[in-house]
Amino acid sequence: MSNEERIKILEDKREKINNVSCSFCTAKWLQTTLMLQNGYNHSCHHPAPHKIPLEEIEADPAALHNSKFKKEQRAKMLKGERPSECNYCWKIEDLDKNYFSDRHYKTSDSWAWDRFEDIAKSNPQDNVYPSYLEVSFSNACNFACAYCSPEISSKWMEDIKHNGPYPTKHGAHDLNYLEQSGKMPYLNREHNPYVEAFWKWFPDALPYLRVLRITGGEPTMSKDTWKLLDYLIEHPQKDLDIAINTNGCVEDKLIDKLIEKINTLAEVGVKVDIYTSLESIGEQAEYARDGLNYKIWLDNIERFLNETKSTVAIMTTVNILSLTTFIEFIKAVMNLRKLYNNSFEWNRIPLSINIMHWPPHLQCTLLDKETRIEIADSIESTCKNWLKYYSPEKYARIYLEEYDQIKRLCEYLRNTSPATEHRRDFIRYIQAYDKRRNKNFSQTFPQFAKLLEDWNA
C-alpha cells in the first residue's frame, strides 16, 4: 500500500470518528497505561495520569483500567465534550482542522478500529478490556533524563533525596508533593497492591489484548518484566504484538537476556518489538538523557536489528535541548534505515515525533519566534528531501505519517508564543542540573550559551 493510499484511508476514518462526536477517541476505552509503582493510570501518553483509588481495585481489579474517573471522561466524549486532560490533541486540531491528531491515529489503528462501532454504541459506565495495554511495574532506572521525574526514575529519586528539590516553580520534584499526591513509588521490596491486582486481572484481560507494551522506569531492571515475558511464553497469544521499552544502555547481560526472550517468543509465534527514546545525538543527547552513552545506545540498537527480527521504534520528546542536533538525529535514523530496511512496505525503524510540554522550563517555546522559525524551516526542508527515496539501492525514506508529525512540530515552533515566563526557571534548573550531574551546558550547547546570560538579566 502506498503512502498516499494510507493517508486516504486515514482521512476516511477521521470522518467516521468525527461523525460519532468531535471529541470521540476510543483510546479512552481501549488503551491504558498502568504505572503500578504508584497506582497511576492514563488512557494514552498525552493526558496527565490520574490516581486509581485503592478501594476501587480492592472491590474489582478491573478498576485498574476502568476507574470511575476514566468512565466520566468516556461519557464526555460520547456527548462531544472535550476532556481537558486531552488538550494535546485539541491543540493540534485547533492549529488546522486538516491535521491528524493522535485522537485520529489511535482510534484508526489496527488494535482499535475493529472495536470502533461497538465502542461508539457502548454505555460509558460499562467495564471493558483494553486492546492496548502499557504497564510499568517499577521506577527502577539507570537514567535520570532532564525532563523525567522521581516517580518514574530511581536515579532521579536518588538526586532529589540527596540534593533536595530543584529551584523551579514547576517540576521541582519535591518529595513532599509526591507523598501528598500519592505519587511516591513503592519500593521493590515492599508489597504493592497495584501489582497484586494486576496479576489477578491480567489473565482475563490477555485474550482481548492486541498490543502489550512493557515500560518503566527501565523495564529490564524489573523482576516483574521477566515474570510477564515468561508468562507470555507459557501462554502465547498469536494475535498479540508485544513491545518492550528500553533505554538501550543497560548492562550487557540484560541486553543478552532481552534478545533471548524476544527470540523465544518468536519461536512460539509471538511478535515482539523494541521501543526506545531519543531526539538528538552525541554529547547533547547524553546531556539531556543523563546516563546515556550514545555510542553504546547505537551499538545496542544495531544488536536488536541484527540479532532479532524485531522492529526498533524510536520515540522522540522534542524539547529545547534537542533542537541543536535534531536534524542530525533524523539523519542518523535514515542511516539505520539504509542499513536495515529491506523494503518500503516494512519499516524496521519507525519514528514518532512528540512535543514536550512538561516541565515548562524545558519546552521549545522558551526560544524567541525568530529563532524557532529558522529552526523549523531547516527541519522541514531537510525532512522533505527524505520523502523520496534516498537512492535506488537503499530503502530509506521519511513516511508521510511521520512527515505529518514533523510538520505539526514545525508549525508549533513557528506559531506558538514565546514562554518567556519560564526562562528564569530554565536558568535556575540548568545551573542546578550542571552542578548535580557534573555537566556543562555552555560547552555542550555553544549555540545556546548566551541564553544563560540573556535570560538571567
pLDDT value for 249: 97
**Rounded CA gap, 445 and 284, in Å?**
7
pTM for the model stands at 0.84
Taking the CA of residue 19 as centre, how many other CA atoms within 13 Å lie in the half-sphere pointing to its CB?
A: 9
Supply 443's cell numbers: 560547552
Is the N-terminal amide bond of 217 cis, ω within 30° of 0?
A: yes
Supply 260's cell numbers: 533471548
**Rounded CA gap, 163 and 157, in Å?**
10
In the chain, the N- to C-terminal Cα span, in Å, equals: 55
Is the pLDDT reported for residue 308 higher than 90?
yes
pLDDT digits (tens, 9 = 90+) for 242-257: 999 999 999 999 999 9
Pair type for strands 50-51 and 40-42: antiparallel
Is the pLDDT reported for residue 50 higher than 70?
yes
Q: What percent of the chain has pLDDT over 90?
A: 83
pLDDT value for 345: 82
Q: What is the pLDDT confidence band of residue 305, given thresholds at 50, 70 and 90?
A: very high
Higher pLDDT, 334 or 390: 334
**Rounded CA gap, 435 and 43, in Å?**
37
DSSP assignment of 94-156 equals: HH-TTSPPHHHHHHHSTTTGGGHHHHHTS-TTS----SEEEEE-----S-EETT--TTT-HHH
Average pLDDT of every residue of the chain: 93
Over residues 437-451, the mean pLDDT reads 95
Is the pLDDT reported for residue 97 higher than 90?
no
Question: Which DSSP helix (H) or strand (E) runs through 32?
Answer: strand 31-35
**Rounded CA gap, 284 and 74, in Å?**
41
- Classify the phi-psi angles of 128: left when phi > 0, otherwise alpha if psi is within -120 to 50, otherwise beta: beta
Measuring CA to CA, how many Å separate 149 from each of 140, 185, 345? 12, 11, 38
Measuring CA to CA, how many Å separate 399 from each of 12, 334, 389, 391, 418? 19, 11, 10, 15, 30
Is the pLDDT reported for residue 396 higher than 90?
no
Is residue 175 within 8 Å of 150, Cβ to Cβ?
A: yes
pLDDT digits (tens, 9 = 90+) for 152-208: 999 999 999 999 999 999 989 999 988 998 899 998 778 999 999 999 999 999 999
pLDDT value for 391: 67
What single DSSP character describes residue 320? G
**Rounded CA gap, 140 and 158, in Å?**
11
Three-class secondary structure assignment of 355-387? ECCCCHHHCHHHCCHHHHHHHHHHHHHHHHHHH
Residue 73, helix vs strand vs coil: helix
Residue 262, helix vs strand vs coil: helix
- Classify the phi-psi angles of 444: left when phi > 0, otherwise alpha if psi is within -120 to 50, otherwise beta: alpha
Supply 147's cell numbers: 525532563
Over residues 7-29, the mean pLDDT reads 93
Length of the chain: 457
Domains of the chain, earliest start first: 3-130 (no CATH), 135-454 (3.20.20)
Over residues 262-280, the mean pLDDT reads 95
Is residue 422 within 8 Å of 365, Cβ to Cβ?
A: no
Largest CA distance in the chain: 62
pLDDT value for 445: 97
Q: What is the pLDDT confidence band of residue 239, given thresholds at 50, 70 and 90?
A: confident
